[in-house]
Amino acid sequence: MRKIKEFSAVAVASIYVVIVAIVSTYIHQELSAVGVCDAQQLCILMIPLHYFIPIFSAVGLITGGVMFYLISEKTESSMKKCEHTYDKKIDELLKKALGEKMYQVYNLCKKKNMTQAKISKSLGISRVEVFRILKKLEEKELIERKKDGKIVHVSAKQT
């Protein structure tokens, strides 16, 4: 994410510099063609043309940098709030859909290296009941079981 931000900032700055350079070149050519003032001076401000590009580029880069910083901070914090709210709502829906015990078993399956025996011990329910709950969760395609001899490893499927 940080690399995208840095690339975006550099791209915006580069585009701004190119636009200012093109505009200043156009103004220079127009003023020279008309003969209003000499080719090295910008008539309105009396600033030499070779200073025009860096001055306005610097002002634009500073303004753009400040705006980018302010906007990206607000966007980032609001995205984190949305993700947190979204995760909570999904958990609430899952809890309602699965029921209390099945939801607890599912949450334990999210942890790495869980076995049916560990789940049974952690929740204090029989291995038979854990087996039935795991079977239902597997039918709903929320978990997957892998046998390693007599040990059954359980993990939640990636969504």
Q: The domain that contains 146 carries what CATH number? A: 1.10.10.10
For position 45, what pLDDT does the model report? 55
Residues 86 and 119 in one domain: no
Residue 153 above 80 pLDDT? yes
Tokens standing for 49?
């043309």
Segment holding 136, helix H or strand E: helix 127-139
Residues 90 and 35 in one domain: yes
Residues 92 and 105 in one domain: no
Residue 1 above 60 pLDDT? no
Residues 89 and 110 in one domain: no
- The number of beta carbons lying within 10 Å of the beta carbon of residue 53 is 17
Reported confidence tier of residue 111, pLDDT bands at 50, 70, 90 = confident
Residues 109 and 83 in one domain: no
Q: How far is the C-alpha of 137 from the C-alpha of 139, rounded, in Å?
A: 5
Residues 93 and 106 in one domain: no
Boundary (domain end) residue, out of 53, 82, 97? 97
Residues 39 and 117 in one domain: no
The sheet carrying 143-148 orders its strands as: 114-115, 151-156, 143-148
pTM for the predicted model, two decimal places: 0.47
Half-sphere exposure of residue 125: CA atoms within 13 angstroms, side-chain side: 15
Domain that holds residue 108: 99-156
Residues 110 and 93 in one domain: no
Number of separate domains in the chain: 2
Nearest to 14 by CA among 2, 26, 22, 24: 22
Residues 20 and 32 in one domain: yes
| Segment 33-86, tens digit of pLDDT | 766 555 455 555 556 666 666 777 777 777 777 777 777 766 667 777 777 777
Q: How far is the C-alpha of 2 from the C-alpha of 14, rounded, in Å?
A: 18
Tokens standing for 52?
């025009």
Residues 129 and 142 in one domain: yes
